[in-house]
Amino acid sequence: MARIALTPPRTLLNRIGAWYSRRTYGKVLEPGLALGHNGRVLLSYVRMERGVARWNALDPGLKHLAVMATAARINCSWCMDFGHWEADGLGLPLDKIALVPQWREHTEEFTELELQVMEYAEAMTETEPTVPDELAASLIARLGEAAFVELTAMVSLENFRSRINSAFGLTSQGFSEACAVPARG
* Tens of pLDDT, residues 45-96: 999 999 999 999 999 999 999 999 999 999 999 999 999 999 999 999 999 9
Q: Which fold has domain 60-179?
A: AhpD-like (1.20.1290)
Q: What are the pLDDT digits (tens) for 82-131?
A: 999 999 999 999 999 999 999 999 999 999 999 999 999 999 999 999 99
Q: How many C-beta atoms lie closer than 10 Å to residue 113's C-beta?
A: 15
In this predicted structure, the answer to whether residue 181 has a pLDDT above a threshold of 50 is: no
Is the pLDDT reported for residue 149 higher than 50? yes
The Cα 79–Cα 108 span in angstroms is 25
Which residue type, as a one-letter code, is found at position 85? Answer: W
Mean pLDDT of the chain: 95
Number of neighbouring beta carbons within 10 Å of residue 68: 26
pLDDT of 185: 44
pLDDT category at 1 given cuts 50, 70, 90 is: confident
Residue 30: closest CA among 79, 64, 98:
79
CA-CA distance, 133 to 65, in Å (whole number)? 21
Q: Which amino acid is at 159?
A: N
Domain definitions of the chain by residue range? 12-52, 60-179
Q: What is residue 89's predicted lDDT score, i.e. its pLDDT?
A: 93
Q: pLDDT value at position 184?
A: 45
Instruction: Say how many C-beta atoms besides its own lie within 10 A of residue 131's C-beta.
Output: 17
Q: What is the pTM of this model?
A: 0.92
Q: What is the pLDDT of residue 180?
A: 55
What whole-number distance in Å separates Cα of residue 34 and Cα of residue 181?
Answer: 26
Residue 104, helix vs strand vs coil: helix
| Residue 183, pLDDT score | 47
List alpha helices for the chain, DSSP H. 12-25, 30-35, 39-52, 60-74, 77-90, 94-97, 112-125, 133-143, 145-168
Q: How far apart are CA 79 and CA 77, in angstroms?
A: 5
Per-residue pLDDT band for 177 (boundaries 50, 70, 90) equals confident
Task: List pLDDT tens digits, range 7-28.
Answer: 999 999 999 999 999 999 999 9
